[in-house]
Each structure stands twice: as C-alpha cells, then as structure tokens.
Chain A
Amino acid sequence: MLTHEKKRGTMTVRLTGDLDHSTAGRIREELDELISDPGIRRLVFDLSGLTFMDSSGIGMMIGRYKAMMRRGGSIAVQPGNAQVDRLIELSGLYQIIEKLA
C-alpha cells in the first residue's frame, strides 16, 4: 500500500506491506502519477513500514531515480527494517540515493 504527502516541492511516499514483483508494477504506476507534477523536485521513499522487499523494489527505485534525474531533481530513502537496508546496500543504491536516518 502507498500513502503520500506533498510539502512544497517534496513528495514523500510511504510504502507498507510487501514490495515484490507482484506489487511493484502497481506501485510504480501510482508513483509515476504522483510525480508527474513537474513542480516536484524531490522524492522521498519512506520504507519503514515495509514488511518485505526484494530486487523488484530495487528496480522500481532505480526507475524513479532516473525519472527524477531527468528533471534535475533528487531522491532519498528511509530504509526501515534491517533486511531492506542490507538489500539497498548490496545494490549500491546508497551511492546515488541519499539515505535518511
């Protein structure tokens, strides 16, 4: 599930439940709709409510990273549980995406 909050140019999306191949497609569509407003300059993923994530989540985040970069924006992630954090670390995503405490 996805909830969002927009504050000035920042869109914060909070994901809950499992983020895998079966859920990533729908989340990707919802996200693209949310960030379609060109006034959004920063996208923040709050993953602290996720119960599970696999590499389908990494692919989804890389896709949104590219979309935000194309408009000169930025992206950040709050990982939440240790497994999600390890997976993002392994993918190297923290080298291009800001990690929030």
Chain B
Amino acid sequence: MSIINEMKLDFLSCPANEAFARMVISAFILPLNPTLEQLGDIKTSVSEAVTNAVVHGYGEKKGTIRMRALLDDAGGLTVEVTDNGCGIRNIQQARQPFFTTMESAERSGMGFTVMESFMDDVEVHSEPGRGTTVRMSKQILAPCPAARRA
C-alpha cells in the first residue's frame, strides 16, 4: 500500500476553525467520490477531534492544531489531529461514552464514541502536559478492484 495524497494544515485553536477543518477534510476526500454517509461520518469525526483539541487540549489558552490527512492507493483515509495542549491523564476513561470533565458546559462526553462509531479505527496518543494525537482511519473505496466493480 502506498500513499497517493497527503496534506498538512496548521490552524489556531479557535472555535471557528472547527467548521474550517470540516470543509478542508471534505475537499480533500472529494476526488474519491465518497458517499454522503461516508462524508458525513468523516466530517463529524474530524469535528469531534478538533473540538476536543480546542475545548480540552487548549481550553482558555490558544495554540496550534495540526490536521494531517493521507489517502492510500487502496482507497483508505487516515486523519490525524494533533494538539500541544494539556494532554489526557486517563485515555481509557476519556473514551468511555458520556464521560466528561465539563458537564457544566454541557459537553455530552460523546466525542470519542462518535469517532469510534463513524470511523473504522481510532487511536489516541497522549502525554499529560505535552499534547494529544488522535489518529483515525476509514476505508472509502472498496479495497480491491474486483470489489470496487461490484
């Protein structure tokens, strides 16, 4: 499997960039002709990861969020969202449905659950005080030409 396209984007952790990141990832995968459902799944998952970086990673502070996306020749997409914010102390707990550290702000605690449900695979790497990377992947095209024709 080899990489056929790659992009990297650095942007400030302000809420307006949540929509910006969704638009960028949509434009990036559009040449693969994703279904509306795939497009929706990917936009929603990116939105969750970027919102986590804005709200939890940096909080009141501002910092840089990096989004990196790769398309491989088998029709797979990988997206990484990285922040250099506060990091996650307990990743297992953070991934629990409805777990939130910010109930008063009406955060649902559903972010990771959404990513895990809408993407094929989600990995979280985090170090307290250093930051977090969420790496998600999803197959957009059927993996072999025969299956693609079907």
Contacts and interface: CB of A to CB of B under 8 A. Distances in A.
Interface of A: 18, 20-22, 24, 28, 52, 54-56, 58-60, 62-63, 82-83, 86-87, 90-91
Interface residues of B, number: 26
Contacts, number: 67
Question: Chain A interface mostly helix, strand, loop or mixed?
Answer: helix
Given A56-B108, A83-B37, 4 more contacts: A54-B51, A55-B111, A55-B113, A62-B106
Query: Top 9 closest A-B pairs, CB basis?
Result: A22-B15, A83-B40, A59-B108, A55-B110, A59-B106, A58-B108, A63-B106, A54-B47, A21-B51
A28 B105 CA distance: 11
8 contacts: A21-B55, A28-B106, A52-B43, A56-B107, A58-B108, A59-B109, A83-B37, A86-B40
Contact of A20 (B47, B109, B117): B47
B106 A55 contact: no
A52 B106 contact: no
B106 A87 contact: no
Contact of B18 (A20, A87, A91): A20
B36 interface: yes
B55 to A, nearest CB: 6
